[in-house]
């Protein structure tokens, strides 16, 4: 029984490790799905950067812009030139080298860079052992399962003298299947939240329902200024009258005639030349 308890304890510890560090991303490409296992314990910055960019759809529609047969396949540049891309940190982040991880096989996932500590969004897959890249590029994952054969198809592309594919393959979509960073907030969601918060600050100080408002309410500066350009008050009055009549005919918010405040009668308005065609 003692060995059984020890075995159960090992399983629990292993499961806790998976929950904390295991991460998985699926790349849907024009050559098929590529399943990625990320090593967030060994390279936390690179993994966080990659996962957040995937959550934001940053890589969607990007091409594999560099193919060196038997060596690497490179992508992750939204410009497709090999000179673009940025990290989630607002600046290039530092390399993360690990003594236990080496460029000794195909299917490894690593950060592309233009020099030391110059990591952005670009990455590459190895197509074989590449020991010359050790301690120059951060390895942060691998291609897992049989999807490695889809990745290998990428090297079949015809390339020009600059190692650029003539008909480049694309990343259609990215899906994060397991995320060990629960605090990640995609920048698109943050911007939307900030925009909604800004809108809340612009309040309707009069606190009225436009259905029961008069022309003076709609034409007050505090109500229309943040949203529209200045419009002649007579035009707004006429439009409001037409709106109120239509609401009455359609029985919209018309439970009690006394509740509806007509700002004016259309016949009492002066004749105004409309600046637009109706």
71 is annotated as an active-site residue: yes
66 is annotated as an active-site residue: yes
Task: Given the residues 26, 133, 178, 248, select the one marked as catalytic.
Answer: 133
164 is annotated as an active-site residue: no
113 is annotated as an active-site residue: yes
Task: Given the residues 49, 52, 113, 122, select the one marked as catalytic.
Answer: 113
Task: Specify the DSSP element, H or E, that contains 32.
Answer: strand 32-39
Task: Given the residues 50, 93, 124, 125, select the one marked as catalytic.
Answer: 124
Cβ atoms of 184 and 52 within 8 Å: the answer is: yes
Which tokens sit at 67?
């193919």
Q: Which residues contact 224 (CB under 8 A, 6 or more apart)?
A: 218, 230, 231
What is the rounded CA–CA span in Å between residue 155 and residue 52?
Answer: 27
Task: Given the residues 71, 97, 178, 181, select the one marked as catalytic.
Answer: 71
**DSSP class per residue in 110-171:** EEEESSTT-EEEEEEEESS--GGGTTTS-EEEEE-GGGHHHHHHGGGS-B-TTS-BSS--BE
124 is annotated as an active-site residue: yes
Task: Given the residues 48, 65, 66, 106, select the one marked as catalytic.
Answer: 66
Task: Specify the DSSP element, H or E, that contains 175.
Answer: strand 171-178
**Could you tell me the sign of the dihedral formed by the alpha carbons of 37, 41, 46, 49, in that order?**
positive
158 is annotated as an active-site residue: no
How many CB atoms are located within 10 Å of the residue 85 CB?
22
Say whether 22 sits in a helix, a strand or coil: strand
Task: Given the residues 49, 74, 119, 179, select the one marked as catalytic.
Answer: 74
Cβ atoms of 111 and 46 within 8 Å: the answer is: yes
Residues marked active site are found at 66, 71, 74, 113, 124, 133, 137
């Amino acid at each position: 029984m003692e060995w059984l308890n020890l075995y159960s304890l090992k399983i629990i510890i292993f499961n806790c490790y998976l929950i904390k560090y295991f991460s998985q991303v699926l790349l849907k490409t024009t050559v098929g799905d590529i399943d990625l296992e990320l090593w967030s314990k060994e390279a936390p910055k690179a993994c966080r950067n990659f996962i957040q960019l995937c959550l934001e759809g940053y890589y969607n529609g990007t091409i594999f812009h560099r193919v060196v047969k038997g060596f690497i396949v490179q992508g992750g540049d939204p410009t497709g030139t090999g000179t673009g891309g940025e990290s989630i940190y607002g600046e290039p982040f530092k390399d993360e080298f690990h003594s236990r991880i080496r460029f000794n096989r195909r299917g490894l996932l690593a950060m592309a860079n233009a020099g030391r500590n110059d990591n952005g969004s670009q990455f590459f897959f190895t197509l074989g052992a590449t020991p010359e890249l050790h301690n120059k590029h951060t390895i942060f994952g691998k291609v897992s399962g049989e999807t490695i054969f889809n990745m290998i198809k990428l090297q079949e592309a015809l390339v020009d003298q600059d190692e650029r594919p003539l008909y480049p393959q694309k990343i259609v979509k990215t899906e994060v299947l397991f995320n060990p960073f629960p605090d990640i907030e995609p920048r698109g969601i943050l911007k939307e939240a900030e925009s909604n918060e800004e809108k809340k600050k612009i309040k309707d100080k009069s606190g009225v329902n436009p259905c029961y408002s008069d022309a003076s309410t709609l034409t007050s500066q505090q109500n229309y200024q943040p949203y529209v350009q200045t419009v002649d008050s007579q035009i707004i009055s006429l439009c409001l009258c037409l709106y109120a009549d239509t609401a009455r005919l359609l029985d919209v918010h018309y439970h009690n005639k006394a509740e509806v405040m007509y700002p004016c009668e259309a016949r009492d308005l002066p004749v105004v030349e409309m600046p637009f065609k109706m």
